[in-house]
Structure 1
């Protein structure tokens, strides 16, 4: 009896992408599972578990980009305010 191999989430997502490519090329479920060296049941479980993971990652990336842009604007405003205060102090001297 062969031992079970644990796959990392990155490996699973990579194999699911490959499975999509094979399915688009017309491969059967059995052929796809054999190519990926997993069982058909494992492939089905992975699809159910990781379905939409890429969409969620894209949403999170977009949220982080928006937050980054907002923080950059705040930083620029703070730097400008600091510079204005520095100029005001110099003008008083």
Structure 2
């Protein structure tokens, strides 16, 4: 008799794997914000990081990295990461 165990790759039949991965990233980002603010990090910086992640990692939102808007979003995301490095004490910028 076979086991009724369902593995993550089999669950992809019910939900595309991409949706499962997007939900996992969303869940991990929520954990980061919750644990980060509890540890004393600035909620606004963490929320900015999440917002940039949502926009930059959305493949349908940007088709040309030479466009000024996309370039500015990347620049702002890097600046947000630099702020986060300072907050956590990682000063090797």
Alignment TM-score, normalising by the size of structure 2? 0.29
TM-score (normalised: structure 1)? 0.29
Instruction: With a CA cutoff of 8 Å and minimum separation of 6, indicate the structure with the bigger relative contact order.
Output: 2
| Greater Cα radius of gyration, structure 1 or 2 | 1
1 or 2, which has the higher helix percentage? 1
